[in-house]
Structure 1
């Protein structure tokens, strides 16, 4: 009953969520879904540790999960589906899974795209005026240096409504670079969407005063829109993207 190392690592946050939220009834339901009733019901410590809130409960949870997945790798998806349904359903759109409450969105203005998140995609939110063309070129070069792909909303045309293409691009991105230069209200709006969806947002600007007060506690990269300044931006941004 071999479980590959990557799957074992993926089970760690799942085990933490189960420890914090599962009841005995949840274990029985999950056991039924994964054809593991005998394992869960007959385990010498799992349900007893849950009932008595023993310190060894988390270890038994992880051990049982590994055994369930080891019996049938497809059980990993069954476990994930059950846990997601227990937390409210839906699919996480965030770049980072963090402990705590999870919220599921049902937008009325946007359609959630069918595609999942692309771990290698960087999207860029910036003014579309011509003087930002070289800035976008520098950002694309920085992304390539970090081994990532880079797109802006005008690189695609999948929907008749531009903001839908922008929303879909943010959803599919792991990292969102936002250029706050010139206090562009569209970029502010798009940064809010990215933050709400839990994306890694990297702010850049030509003028620190253009960064909204609510966002100045986030570290931003300041640059000059000339040859030397854009080379410096490219180097700094590539390092930032690589660290993410």
Structure 2
């Protein structure tokens, strides 16, 4: 496609050097910035991590790409400004994140058939203790995901599945994710949060608000609408 007028400005030998260099530098800086962002936003599958990484990539990689372009271009004055290249970097980063979410969600959906059985060429989810039922939702998670599922949270059209040491994001309706937790005792504590009762280790009260403490250290808010359900489960005093 040769953006930045590179088809007109670069000879074929220069194009053969320029674009592989762009791709290599992008991969390098993306990997480095991912690790740096993870120090401040540990939840890699969340939208906050992706937003910060897009901003970091736009701020850090834009001058690198601009310098690489200026270095190889025979006529730098014909090339876009640093601001135009910055917009290109930001849009490319957003597109890549969107594609990763779409492809990742579809891959998880194809891992299980309509009856909830795992396809023959996909490694089944790890076995949980015999006393803990394995919900159908586990089959949507990537290979190697170690349960049990502690809680679910909804963000727009995505559901975040929280495990003891990790979490995974699925593109599906919240109500469908809850339905696939069949066999596991749990309920909603909030319109955007569902908890497994066995994972609740205590409660916390802060300025009139109530939170359920989960075994992995998370805190889930209890709304007034769903408080009677939590009380009925014996997790709160009426």
TM-score (norm 2): 0.28
Higher strand proportion (structure 1 or 2)? 2
Q: RCO (CA 8 Å, sep 6+): is it higher in 1 or 2? A: 1
Greater share of helix residues, 1 or 2?
1
Q: TM-score, normalised to structure 1's length? A: 0.27
